[in-house]
Amino acid sequence: MAACTNNSEAVAMKKQDKKLRVAIIGCGVVAPTHAEGFRAQDGVELALACDLVEYKARSLAERYGFAGLTTDYRQVMADKQVDCVAVCTDHASHVPITVAALKSGKHVLCEKALAADAKGLRRMFAAHARHPKLVFSGVFQHRFDPVNRCLKKMVTDGSFGRILTAGMQVRCVRTNEYFKADKWRGSWARSGGAVLINQAIHSVDIMAWIMGGVKSVGGAYANLTHRGVMETEDTATAAVCFRSGALGTIEATCSSNLGWEITISIHGTSGSVDVRDGQPIKMLFEDAAKCGEIEQAVLATRGMITAQGAKDYYGVGHMTQIADFVAAIRKKRRPFVPALAARHAVDIVLGIYRSHRDNGRRVELPAVKVDG
């Protein structure tokens, strides 16, 4: 005899079986990575591809099997069947699109940087405060890298002893042609900056997250090799005071012609590590077993799935972050990278810009949570 199911149980089962319909807004370079990530999730339907340029939306829609396409993000917001959106547009449009999505009751996964200025951040979080049950996550996929999660755990459990210093370096190349390709690149109004807010912000986030947050910054920036092409910075440095009391440094340039090199360094009284491009190049610990933990984390990274066609510096975390975002919606929980935590890296970058414009004056940062 079949078991009876009451109406409330039937409704709950129906909701659980309902497909999650996602729209991707902005069908440029990073959009295929998002499309692959969502397509890999059971029970997720690619509903709408949206871009101001129709052929970009059509290309993404045809390649990944979206149900439809549009050139107006307002049509996405008007579609009551769309449950969530991935915002993959230029920095300046993140705020109006995210605010509109939250207002229309849609969960949001927004690419970095969340906003190009402090006013935009305030608008975003005011909108989310009015709809707190919606999942709002900022893309910082490198928080999912096993190596970075291992370093975070080791800092938390005291493996480094008293941490004295931490630093990050991003040395990469962006040509004049890169900045000319899109009007928003290298624009204070539309991008909010250049190397700090675009290329280096991932490393800024990772260092700040691993170290438990930044209290204040003082920095400087310059345009050394892209004058006449863009108005923002291609090189920047900063001195950092962490909330723990440790000190740190930020160094970033997109004027290097020697390829990409991304380094995170942590030095304490009982341990010291340099990780370059996801590989440890130095490990010194009083407890030798700690080196094995990092080595195992490196091996775990190699086993993670990355999106086909994704750029090398995207790493392996997009697929995992998208899976976490979908799970957070279904389980009605906080995502691993809530937008409020993703905000901290933007505050750091904006603080460096402010410091430079005020003759290097140290800037105190908002005391926001850095963890999920």
Q: Using an 8 Å Cβ cutoff, are 19 and 45 in contact?
A: yes
What CATH architecture applies to the domain 142-305+340-364? Answer: 2-Layer Sandwich (3.30)
Residue bearing the bigger pLDDT, 38 or 305: 38
CATH number for the 7-141 domain, one of 3.40.50.720, 3.40.50.150, 2.40.10.120, 3.40.50.620? Answer: 3.40.50.720
- pLDDT band, residue 312 (cuts 50/70/90): low
Q: What is the mean pLDDT of the chain?
A: 92
Dihedral class, residue 182 (left if φ above 0, else alpha if ψ from -120 to 50, else beta): beta
Comparing CA positions, the residue from 233, 139, 238 lying closest to residue 195 is 233
CA–CA separation, 65 and 68 (whole Å): 9
CA–CA separation, 279 and 274 (whole Å): 8
Question: Residue 154 to residues 65, 159, 162, 206: CA-CA distances in angstroms?
Answer: 42, 5, 12, 14
Does pLDDT of 311 surpass 70? no
Does pLDDT of 1 surpass 80? no
For the ranges 291-300, 312-321, 326-335, 362-371, the lowest mean pLDDT is seen at 312-321
Does pLDDT of 14 surpass 50? no
> Are β-strands 84-87 and 20-25 bridged in parallel, bridged antiparallel, or unpaired?
parallel
Q: Using an 8 Å Cβ cutoff, are 208 and 150 in contact?
A: no
Residue bearing the bigger pLDDT, 23 or 11: 23
What six digits make up the tokens of 349?
């970058």
pLDDT value of residue 317: 86
Q: Using an 8 Å Cβ cutoff, are 166 and 265 in contact?
A: yes
CA–CA separation, 68 and 50 (whole Å): 9
CA–CA separation, 139 and 314 (whole Å): 11
Domain boundaries, the chain: 7-141, 142-305+340-364
- pLDDT band, residue 302 (cuts 50/70/90): confident
> Are β-strands 261-268 and 163-171 bridged in parallel, bridged antiparallel, or unpaired?
antiparallel
Helix H segments across 115-200?
118-130, 146-156, 176-181
pTM recorded for the entire structure: 0.91
Per residue in 133-187, pLDDT (tens digit) is: 999 999 999 999 999 999 999 999 999 999 999 999 999 999 999 899 888 898 9
User: Which residue is it, tokens 């497909």?
Assistant: 19
> What does the chain come to in residues?
372
pLDDT value of residue 331: 97
Helix or strand (DSSP H, E) at 7: helix 7-17
CA–CA separation, 280 and 282 (whole Å): 6
Paired strand residues for 255: 173
